[in-house]
Amino acid sequence: MKTIYKLLLPLFSIIILVGCSDDDNMQELTGEGIVKLSFDNAVGSDDLLLGSSGYTNSQNEVLTITRLNYIVSNFTLTNDKGEKFTYPKDDSYFVTSEETGETEISLTNIPAGRYVSVTFGIGVDQEKYLQGAEGQGTFLAKAEATNMMWAWQAGYKFLNFEGTFTSQSVTEPTNFKVHMGSHGSSLDNYKEVTLNLGTEALVSDEMTPIIHLVADANAILDGANKLSLSEQAVIMVSEEKSPKVAANVSGMFTVDHVHNGTGDTH
């Protein structure tokens, strides 16, 4: 038995070596690693600073943002060969919160590879919701602690965006609240986006890339759909407006850059 191994071993090594020489100018990526996604919240071209001086949008409304929390979920990474790796669904729900500084998420045990795009959802899909207690697991507590649960309806806020604003018609600083989620079984506001990474994100035993995404808070009200706070400052369960907010939010993300390396540097 042992002698067979002894004979086979060199043979295998040759095969492996030959296999490697095919892509000799490419690094061999093996094992699995962590992919970090950093959500850098911004307003337009500026960094988002909660509670700091007003920011003027294209509708001439001046916003002071005090809260920006959103749920991201159901991550899938696609590699250069077009193969998709879907992150285990039960572990694929995250709240990112500017207030608490929890804006980076780590996806672990990602198979080695060269990833070219990322797909994720904003919010919680109906399939997950309808799994009841079993499906929510510890995410419920997380959502409650970060102001992402609605109390009057047992559902999630996908986006919690709050602050004060002034405009030509509203001269005193006035609170605004934009809470977006699905409306019971009546309206599903869960959306998915796919973003090209621009640079390949390299994952292996040694390589832990950080994907920096920019989330432009300006797009929430001032994206493809224009929503005026002067007209309505509290947008929660509006059949007309909340799908527009959902569409805007799904358009607020871009990949800014990817860091390849050991994952220690940003």
Side-chain half-sphere CA neighbours of 130 within 13 A: 7
116 lies in the binding site for another protein (CB under 8 A): no
The pattern of x and - marking residues 9 through 48 that bind another protein according to CB under 8 A reads ----------------------------------------
Closest contact distance (angstroms) between CB of 137 and another protein is: 5
With CB under 8 A, what is the number of residues at the site for another protein? 29
53 CA to centre of own chain: 26
Instruction: Return the closest-CA partner of residue 78 out of 39, 35, 41, 40.
Output: 35
* x-marked contacts with another protein along 47-86 as a string, rule CB under 8 A: ----------------------------------------
Considering the rule CB under 8 A, would residue 153 count as an interface residue with another protein? yes
**Candidate list 154, 205, 232, 266; residue touching another protein; CB under 8 A:** 154
Q: Is 234 in the site for another protein (CB under 8 A)?
A: no
Q: CA-CA-CA-CA torsion for 253, 150, 184, 222, nearest 10 degrees?
A: -30
Q: Alpha carbon of 96 to those of 40, 57, 68, 165, 181: distances in Å?
A: 10, 23, 8, 23, 15
In the chain, the largest separation of any two C-alpha atoms, in whole Å, equals 88
Q: What is the CA radius of gyration of the chain?
A: 22
Q: Does 145 bind another protein (CB under 8 A)?
A: yes
Distance between CA atoms of residues 164 and 174, nearest Å: 5
184 touches another protein by CB under 8 A: yes
Contact 213, 39 (CB under 8 A): yes
Strand partners, 259: 210
Nearer to another protein, 89 or 212 (CB): 89
Q: How far is the CB of 188 from another protein (least distance, A)?
A: 11
Q: Is 155 near another protein (CB under 8 A)?
A: yes
Q: What one-character DSSP code corresponds to residue 246? A: H
What distance in Å separates the CA atoms of residue 6 and residue 247, rounded to the nearest whole number? Answer: 62
User: Closest separation between CB of residue 191 and another protein, Å?
Assistant: 17
By CB under 8 A, name the one of 73, 117, 136, 218 that touches another protein: 136
Closest contact distance (angstroms) between CB of 131 and another protein is: 7
Name the site residues for another protein (rule: CB under 8 A). 129-134, 136-138, 140-141, 144-145, 149, 151-155, 183-187, 237-240, 242
